[in-house]
Structure formats: structure tokens, C-alpha cells
Amino acid sequence: MKTRPAFGIGIITEGRGASMFRIIIWALVLTCMAPPAWGATVPMHVLTADYLGGPENTALPATVVAPWVTWTETSWQYDPEAVAAGIKTMYYTNPNRINDTNPMRSADESVYAHDCSGNRLASLHYEHMYLADPASPALRAKFQWVIRSRSANRHWDAFFVDDANTMVGLSGLPCNYDPEAWLAAEKQLIASVDVPIVYNGLENNATRALNDVPNVIGGMEEGCYSGSVRFPKMWDRYWTQIENTEIAMARDGKLFFCYGKDTTDASRSVDGRIYTYASFLLTYTPDKSILWEYYGTASKFRVEPETKLVALNPVVPTPLDISALQQPSGVYGREYQSCYLAGSPVGPCAAVVNPSRSQTHAYPYGNKYEHTLVLSGGGILDEGTVSTQGPPPPQTLGPLEAVIVFR
């Protein structure tokens, strides 16, 4: 991630030789000045993620995309190129759902979970995929083998564990299923490998207990603010759950991978992108919250230009619950004292979101802010643009509308 210094100071002197003294002082300041309290540099973008390597992803070299992407889930083959470019890398595993292409497939039936009739529990969405039993010693041995084999001659910043602690989309439940016992077994499975783990499954609030495992460094929420092509904006209680999870993950000291699932072309998704980004900014923590979107782009590099907006020094500290950011008018808003676009200061800004699916609410900040964020085009490497000089904010926000505003 590219950074740029952002600091300044004023010196006032009196008496003879003041001008020469100022020159000397400024020379010292420019070479020796201490960084501001929040850090010596301002990031060029918020933390981001994308898939790299493979036929479905961008063919651009890692050195081209590296200035704009922080993390990638990538292949064993592409890993060295990404690492050399300074991108953090993550390798995909799924010890919880096993099919014929999963390296943890086994003829040992103890690897799989079964119903009370002894049948495997099948996925309703993928053929020949079955629920694994996290309490199985054979499964843990398989998982350890996969981690060892994929780590040979490679550097990984994390291993991704898909479908952690979830029973969604299955033909049934395991015999005598106990959610607490299953969660405990999932914790033991993850703890059995001595590598950093990012798990998937934060849509289930109970899964966040995996943060208790020492080698867990983060978790993913799928459908984060953007659920799908059909549901490009999450709403009401679903939206509230995501915001509170974003807050909770930072409070736990873990990375929060916010994975949007709308695959519509980015140039035709400006409204949804602003809604997603404003929602993300409401509760984001700069060194913990990671935006991972999947809008379509010509280059297949899916980082968007709005991620160049970095908001710092919030007027209100991150609350314990998103309800604390609800304004009297009914919308949710958070103001930041110092905002930057690609490292350049743009003054104070604020994110405002109306997550109601049916209600219109008044915009809360009156004439305090004069401009809005405007997007055009597609991805950050596809001639997509972002401006902080858009028209004045509206007087009201309709259902599922959002704005990011500037003075």
C-alpha cells in the first residue's frame, strides 16, 4: 500500500534575526519533524482485497495492482509474484465441506458428519459435496497435511477456512447436533494448525467465537452491505448485523473482511457502490477493516476508485453498537475531521446511510457540508473516477440511499 506524508506545522518567532531563524527552523522541521499521533503517513487507500491469479481473475502483473490492493486470496503458483510485489497472500482451504476436488477428500468415513441414519449430509447447492466432522481426528490430520504441503517453499500471510461453523445449505443436521459442541470442535480443528487463519462465516453471530482461537487473525462476512445481484444493498436488521460485526471484530483485535457479492458491472453499480462504501466507513477501523468487492470490471481487477477515500480522526469514537450512530432524523451518520483522497487532504467528511427498505428520512447535517462524493466509470484501473466535488447533499435520503459528504 502506497503512502504519502501528511503533516504540517507553524513556527512563530520574535526579535532580531527572526527571518533567518525561521529559515533554519523550517529546514530542521522538514528533515526531523515527528509524525502526527495517528501515524507518520496517510494510506493511499483503505485496506482492500481481491482474487489474483487464475483464468477468472486479472491478468495484470502484481506490480501493477499492488499499489491498490492489500490482500489477495491466490494460488500456490501466483503466490511468489504477489509476495514480491508486497501484497499479503492467503491460501484457500475448506476443511468443513468436502467434494472430489478437495485435497481433504478421504475414503475414511469418520472424516464426514452423518445423520442418525448414518447418511452423509450433502450440500444442497454443490454436487457430491458433504459436511465434514470437525471433531474427527482423521480430518484434523488431513487438514494439517494440506497446510504443510501448501506451505512448502511458499510464504502465506494467512490460510482461509471456508464454511466455518455453518449448517446452511445442507440436507439435514448431524445426529444429536449440539451447536456449542460443534463450535468447540471447530475451534480445535483451527487450533490444530500452527498458521494464521481467516475464517468465513460471520453471517452467523455465534461464529465470531472463533476469535478466541489464538491463531485466528480475522474473519469474513459474505454479502457485506452488498448481498448479490438481486440484493445489491443490505437493509434493516441484516445491515445492522453487519455494522455491529464490523465493530465487534475490531474490538476483538481481528481483521474484518467485508466481502460484497454484487457482480454487476461496476460502471452500472455506482449507487450500490456508494451505499456499500458509506456503510463500510460508518464503523470501519483503518488497520482492521478490509473491503473486498466483486463488481465486474474490464480488467477483472475489482478494487474500486472510492477506496482511495480514507477518513481519519472521527468526531465520535467507534461505538459499541451501531445504534449510537443513528441521528435524530433516523439515518445513520459519522463525521471525520481529516479525510484524504489518494493521500491528499480533502478536509472533513461524513458518511450518511439510510438502511431502511421502506422509510425516507431527513439528511441530518443541514448546510454543514457542501459537496458529495461522485463516481463514474468502473474499477480503479479501468478509468473509473472519484470526485469529492459533487453537488450539495439532498434534503432527504430515500430507502436504501447513502451519501458521503465534504465541506
Alpha-carbon radius of gyration of the chain? 24
Residue 53 pLDDT > 90:
yes
Average pLDDT over residues 295-305: 98
Residue 331: inside a domain: no
Assigned domain for 26 exists: yes
Mean pLDDT (whole number) for 274-297: 98
Q: Is residue 344 part of a domain?
A: no
In a domain, 237, yes or no: no
What's the pLDDT score for residue 14? Answer: 34
33 part of a folded domain? yes
Dump pLDDT digits (tens) for 321-338. 999 999 999 999 999 999
| pLDDT at position 207 over 80 | yes
In a domain, 164, yes or no: no
Q: State mean pLDDT over 40-63.
A: 94
Q: Quick check: 303 and 333 in contact, CB under 8 A?
A: no
Percent of the chain with pLDDT strictly greater than 70: 90
Q: What amino acid occupies position 117?
A: S
Mean pLDDT of 94-105: 96
* Residue 22 is assigned to a structural domain of this protein: yes
For residue 1, give its domain range: 1-42
3-state SS, 49-84, equals EEEECCCCCCCCCHHHHCCCCCEEEECCCCHHHHHH
Report yes or no on 31 lying in a domain.
Answer: yes
User: Does position 180 have pLDDT exceeding 80, yes or no?
Assistant: yes
Count of CB atoms within 10 A of residue 251's CB? Answer: 13
Number of domain units in the chain: 1
pLDDT at 206: 97
- What pLDDT score does 5 carry? 31
Q: Max CA-CA distance within the chain? A: 95
Cα 338 from Cα 347, distance rounded (Å): 6
pLDDT of residue 41: 87
Q: What's the mean pLDDT in 185-214?
A: 98
> Which tens digit of pLDDT belongs to each residue from 346-398?
999 999 999 999 999 999 999 999 999 999 999 999 999 999 999 999 999 99
- The band of 40, judged by pLDDT with boundaries at 50, 70 and 90, is low
Q: What are phi and psi of 369, to 5 degrees?
A: -120, 140
CA dihedral sign, ordered 106, 110, 111, 112: positive
